Amino acid sequence: MTTKFIAKTEKQTFAYAQKLAAKLKGGEVLCLTGDLGAGKTVFTKGIASGLGITKIITSPTFVLMKVYGIKNENIKHLIHIDAYRLSHGDDLEAIGALDYFGKPNCLTIIEWPERVSEILPKEKIDVKIKILKDNNREISVKR
């Protein structure tokens, strides 16, 4: 099933992700695709906020992965991965990132998943953010 939403502002992208977060149960792997500056990190911040994370989320472009603890009933950890600088999944495997995939108390978000396509789990949620004119974004969520 694919749902589409047009976000006219950064705030709307954030709010849309925030709402989606409430529907997540834990164990999901969210794959965020979209050009540079499309809003993948904004979307991640919205998810984090929706899960009750108050800590500032910054893009893990250089560290590849960041793990945030959550005081949430079901989801205890948010794993934010940025694969932009990678050309295959070996480095993610080496740092143990794959161990989080599908763990019931973890939510994993991957920016630039197409860079590490061979290590992505079969069960994933694809979020595509397309840049339209006038700062609009088309966000499609396929689960």
Ligand X SMILES: Nc1ncnc2c1ncn2[C@@H]1O[C@H](COP(=O)(O)OP(=O)(O)OP(=O)(O)O)[C@@H](O)[C@H]1O
List residues binding ligand X (CB under 6 A): 7, 9-10, 13, 34, 36-42, 59, 111, 135, 137
Contact region for Mg ion (CB under 5 A) — 48-56, 89-97, 108-116, 128-136? 108-116
Nearer to ligand X, 7 or 21 (CB): 7
Nearer to Mg ion, 40 or 137 (CB): 40
CA distances (Å), origin 48, targets 53, 61, 79, 117 = 5, 17, 10, 24
Minimum separation from the CB atom of position 82 to ligand X (A): 6
Nearest Cα to Cα of residue 83 among 52, 113, 55: 113
41 to 80, contacts with Mg ion by CB under 5 A? 41, 59
Which residues contact residue 25 at a Cβ distance below 8 angstroms, ignoring those fewer than 6 apart? Answer: 74, 75, 104
Kindly state the tokens that stand for 53.
């994370």
> Where does this chain bind Mg ion (CB under 5 A)?
40-41, 59, 111
